[in-house]
A and B are shown apart, each in its own frame.
Chain A
Amino acid sequence: MKILIIEDEQGLRETITAYLTEDNNICESCYDLQGAIAKLAFYTYDFVLLDIGLPDGDGFAVLNYLKDQTRSEAVIIISARNSLDDRIKGLNIGADDYLIKPFHLAELKARIIAVFRRKSTNSNNSLVFNEIVINLMGRSVEVNGSAIILTRKEYDMLLYFIANKGKVIAKTALAEHLWGDEMDMHDNFDFIYSHIKNLRKKILDLTSNDYLKSIYGIGYKFTDE
């Protein structure tokens, strides 16, 4: 995937670029509106990450540009403004998702994959990780050809892990992804642990590979290494 990252905050730009530059992804970045339009004029991308508050104008201009040129780049807005109006405006001009700062990189990656899957019409709409096959349309999971029944939380969790395969995912990131706003009341992660335990058990029933590794004190990692 070819990704353009438009973000004026250097620290954020660099870490996003570093996190996403893997899995054969090519990332380019720029820090202002002018640079973004210039890059988009010369190259095509699969994905654009767009910050709304840019130093030389607001990011909606990029969306308008893409719309006028009838381009097919998928766009995720990353904004510090949690405003319903901005969100609706962005989605109306053609953005595919809207992510509010601060966010976890794992969350960003999961969103990118979800949007990309949704957008790509030619794909068979399944996500494959070795012997695990997730059918995104039917929300069903097969391991070694036999279906396993997952609860909604377990399914979301598995999807999140596979989207971020090979990466350490912090417990807080996982909790925020699964529980969202409710999460702000408990910093105890016992129930994450019970979901993880169930998910691992269900997968291990059908395969001998334990992909789900616990990184003590901080979180989990889904990897086949």
Chain B
Amino acid sequence: MKLSSHYNKVSIIVTLSVLFFGAVIYFFAINNIAESLHDDHLSEEVAEVLEYINLNKQLPKQRDFDEDQIKFSKLKSTHIATRFYDTVYNNPRVNINRAGRAVEGSLVFKGDLYKFNIVISKESTEYLLQLIATITLTLIAALLLVLFLTNRYLLKDLWKPFYRILYKIKAYNVLEIEELQLTPTKVNEFKELDNAVYVMSKRVKHDFQNLKHFTENASHEMMTPLAVITSKLDTLIQDETLKQEQLDQIHDIYSAAGKLSRLNQSLLLLVKIENNLVGDIEQLNLDRLIDIKTRQFQEVLLSKDIQVTTALASKEITCSKYLIDILLNNLFSNAIRHNTANGKILIKLSNSQLVFQNTGLSIPLNNETVFDRFEKGKTSDGIGLGLTIVKNICNSYNWDLDYIFTDSLHTFIVKFR
């Protein structure tokens, strides 16, 4: 639920209940006032009747008192207390029943005890009440409408900077070179929020850059000592007095140094891809590149008795040749490295996707971590960055990379956009 609808809900409930209770109190107050006015009127009537009797020495006739209806009846012996009450007023001329107010009491006339009863119509006050009620209801409706509209449009406008900031944060990517821009707003709270977000994004970016530079520098710095190791080994093996076991050990050092150097190159490549530092974008025939790559790997494939089946549709892409070469290299290497003897590799290229399938272990890989750094099989002698690099290259071109395990084939799907 949006903040504005929350606010709308609360404000409308509060307004409605206040207005409702107000209206109830208002109604009773006005009713009360009207009642006491009627009672005053009736008391005056009674006084008039008594005055009439004193003056004319006879009971008044109906017509002497306009619309008011007066009845007299003889009582036996007991006085009755004077009281006011609501009753029905019957207008004799049109014969309609209306709400009325009455008074009754007793008086003594020529030694006899009489009960009198006077009824007056409440029509005029009823009308007044109706009028007041109508006006009040209209006012309530108007007020609600105004409240609703203000909440809807003014609040929406008021919150606009907030949504702009939110959109900015959502779109924020720490990898992008571009800095987050400030959102102009007059509202202090939003200004503060925007500033906080701005400062935070700058700090995050700075830290991230630092970390990347560290990786880059560390990798570079390691290259020179590695070069020393390699060249010293190259010199060392020239020694003809070396024994078999020593040469074996030197060979292992070579392998380790080579692995370390490839690891470094991969880390540097990842930094480069993440920084979008690889340019040389050109039009490429992906199907042709895959053909060439298949031929390049021919020897290795033959030595492992792996059969490659390709189904390639013509597909043009606009990418860095260097990165696509690495992408294919890594997909191939992966498919070969984790294959079984006499295994298969299926490569399918269509306009929308590139699929690499290979036979291998009959257990599917973990879908969540297969593209993570240094995530590799227990038996793998790779460095665990190959698929991470593939993933990053795909990311940099906004392609999707998925892994599924179907028909006991490990399947990697690159979906172009």
Chain B's nearest CB lies how many Å from the CB of A175? 9
- In the complex, whether A205 has a CB less than 8 A from a CB of chain B is no
A173 touches B234 (CB 8 A): yes
Residues on B with beta carbons closer than 8 Å to the beta carbon of A170: 233-234, 237, 251, 254
Residues on B with beta carbons closer than 8 Å to the beta carbon of A217: 244, 247-248, 251
- Select which of B221, B226, B232, B300 is within 8 A of A182 by beta carbon: B300
B223 touches A102 (CB 8 A): yes
- In the complex, whether A93 has a CB less than 8 A from a CB of chain B is no
Residues on B with beta carbons closer than 8 Å to the beta carbon of A188: 303
Residues on A with beta carbons closer than 8 Å to the beta carbon of B299: 191
Q: Pick the most buried of A188, A190, A217: most chain B CB atoms within 10 A of its CB.
A: A217
- Select which of A15, A80, A190, A216 is within 8 A of B235 by beta carbon: A15
* Chain B, Cβ-Cβ closest to A11: B228
Chain A's nearest CB lies how many Å from the CB of B280? 7
Number of residues of chain A lying within 8 A (CB) of chain B: 40
Residues on A with beta carbons closer than 8 Å to the beta carbon of B265: 82
A188 to B148, CA, bound (A): 77
- In the complex, whether B297 has a CB less than 8 A from a CB of chain A is yes
A185 to B235, CA, bound (A): 26
- In the complex, whether A56 has a CB less than 8 A from a CB of chain B is no
Residues on A with beta carbons closer than 8 Å to the beta carbon of B235: 15, 18-19, 105
- In the complex, whether B262 has a CB less than 8 A from a CB of chain A is yes
A103 to B337, CA, bound (A): 25
B237 touches A219 (CB 8 A): yes
Residues on B with beta carbons closer than 8 Å to the beta carbon of A191: 299-300, 303
A9 to B322, CA, bound (A): 30
- Residues 347-391 of B, flagged 1 when their CB comes within 8 A of A and 0 if not, give 000000000000000000000000000000000011100000000
Chain A's nearest CB lies how many Å from the CB of B245? 9
- Select which of A78, A81, A185 is within 8 A of B337 by beta carbon: A185
Residues on B with beta carbons closer than 8 Å to the beta carbon of A218: 237, 247-248, 250-251
- Residues 279-306 of B, flagged 1 when their CB comes within 8 A of A and 0 if not, give 1100000000000000011011001000
Q: Pick the most buried of A9, A15, A106, A218: most chain B CB atoms within 10 A of its CB.
A: A218
A185 touches B258 (CB 8 A): no
B223 touches A11 (CB 8 A): no
B232 touches A168 (CB 8 A): no
A172 touches B337 (CB 8 A): no
- The residues in B between 254 and 279 inclusive whose CB is less than 8 angstroms from any CB of A are 254-255, 257-258, 261-262, 265, 268, 278-279
* Chain B, Cβ-Cβ closest to A188: B303
A187 to B265, CA, bound (A): 18
Report if A172-B258 is in contact (Cβ < 8 Å); known contacts: A185-B337, A190-B303. Answer: yes
Residues on B with beta carbons closer than 8 Å to the beta carbon of A186: 300, 336-337
- In the complex, whether A62 has a CB less than 8 A from a CB of chain B is no
A165 to B32, CA, bound (A): 124
A84 touches B322 (CB 8 A): yes
- In the complex, whether B333 has a CB less than 8 A from a CB of chain A is yes
A84 touches B278 (CB 8 A): yes
Q: Pick the most buried of A103, A105, A184: most chain B CB atoms within 10 A of its CB.
A: A184
A167 to B236, CA, bound (A): 11
A11 to B229, CA, bound (A): 9
Residues on B with beta carbons closer than 8 Å to the beta carbon of A181: 326, 329
- In the complex, whether A215 has a CB less than 8 A from a CB of chain B is yes
Report if A80-B247 is in contact (Cβ < 8 Å); known contacts: A102-B261, A181-B329. Answer: no
- In the complex, whether A48 has a CB less than 8 A from a CB of chain B is no
A172 to B250, CA, bound (A): 11
B251 touches A101 (CB 8 A): no
Residues on B with beta carbons closer than 8 Å to the beta carbon of A101: 223-224, 226-227
* Chain B, Cβ-Cβ closest to A190: B303
Report if A11-B278 is in contact (Cβ < 8 Å); known contacts: A186-B300, A191-B300. Answer: no
**Sample of 16 further A-B pairs with CB below 8 A, known A102-B230, A104-B234, A181-B329:** A15-B234, A19-B234, A84-B278, A84-B280, A101-B227, A102-B231, A102-B257, A102-B261, A170-B254, A172-B258, A176-B258, A182-B300, A185-B333, A185-B336, A186-B336, A191-B300
The contact sample of 5 A-B pairs, CB cut-off 8 A, is A102-B228, A173-B234, A187-B255, A191-B303, A218-B251
